[in-house]
A = this chain, B = another copy of it.
Amino acid sequence: MKVPIVENVLKLNDEIAAINRQTLRDADVFTIDLIGAPGCGKTSLLEVTLEELGGGPKRFGVLVGDLTTDRDAARMAERCDQVVQINTGKGCHLDANQVRQGLGNLDLDRIDVLFIENVGNLICPVGFDLGQDTKVGMFSISEGDDKAAKHPHLVHVAELLLLNKTDLLPHVDFDTDRFREDVRRLNPDVPLVELSVRNRSLQPWYAWLETAAGRIAIG
């Protein structure tokens, strides 16, 4: 009895996600669903990105999911006027309907690239379509070198993987080759960008963003 209900929930989610996708495409907004563990650096990445690219030709917006608190949105609202916090209560991921409601609070005509910062969780957000153009997976050095192998579904679906906190490499036990090998085995084609948000070494991320956001404008 359980399975059909779960399938109905997913089907309904997918229907709303399709509406979101059409809404976002109609408004020429390129949308990224950013998925990573609690504390991998999602908010910090977006903060620095908004700060460094905010004055450029692309205009940004952010939907940010958390169980509770508006701390992440408050951090980003200092750098961007199109930020909406979605509190999920006990919900372990964003769903398409929450995103739909969040979109209603954004001025899409003033956004070229929309970041959806999902709830900190390497598992549940992976299977839910939100209407995004692409999913980006984020790991960090301090989580250990086995996390790609342990989360193959995220590695499979991501169109970009970020490995953050390379500045901590001298201070933790992390075998970078082992991590890279696990990624390659699970998804031979996905780009893997190793970076340190703290050191602001974000050029490869910006380059990917430029290409990815350009893709939708061309297509």
Residues of chain A having any CB pair with chain B under 8 Å: 1-2, 5, 9, 37-39, 66-69, 71, 90, 92, 119-124, 126-127, 140, 142-144, 146-147, 149-153, 165, 167-168, 171-173, 198
Chain B residues with CB below 8 A from A9, complex form: 2
Chain B residues with CB below 8 A from A124, complex form: 92, 121, 123-124
A149 and B71 form a contact (CB under 8 A): yes
Report the Cα distance A168→B92, complex, angstroms. 28
Chain B residues with CB below 8 A from A121, complex form: 92, 121-124
Chain B residues with CB below 8 A from A69, complex form: 146, 149-150
Chain B residues with CB below 8 A from A38, complex form: 37, 122, 143-144, 147, 150-151
Report the Cα distance A211→B113, complex, angstroms. 54
Q: Which of A39, A127, A142, A171 has the most CB of B within 10 A?
A: A39
A-B residue pairs in contact (CB < 8 Å), sample of 9: A1-B5, A2-B5, A2-B9, A5-B5, A67-B123, A67-B150, A92-B121, A92-B123, A121-B122
Report the Cα distance A53→B124, complex, angstroms. 35
Q: A38-B151, A120-B150 are in contact. List 16 more A-B contacts (CB 8 A).
A: A1-B5, A39-B142, A39-B144, A68-B152, A69-B149, A92-B121, A92-B124, A121-B122, A121-B123, A123-B124, A142-B142, A142-B143, A142-B168, A168-B168, A171-B171, A172-B198
Report the Cα distance A173→B147, complex, angstroms. 23
Chain B residues with CB below 8 A from A90, complex form: 123, 126-127, 153
Chain B residues with CB below 8 A from A123, complex form: 67, 90, 92, 119, 121, 124
Chain B nearest CB, measured from A92 CB (Å): 4
Chain B residues with CB below 8 A from A68, complex form: 149-150, 152
Chain B residues with CB below 8 A from A167, complex form: 171
Report the Cα distance A119→B122, complex, angstroms. 10
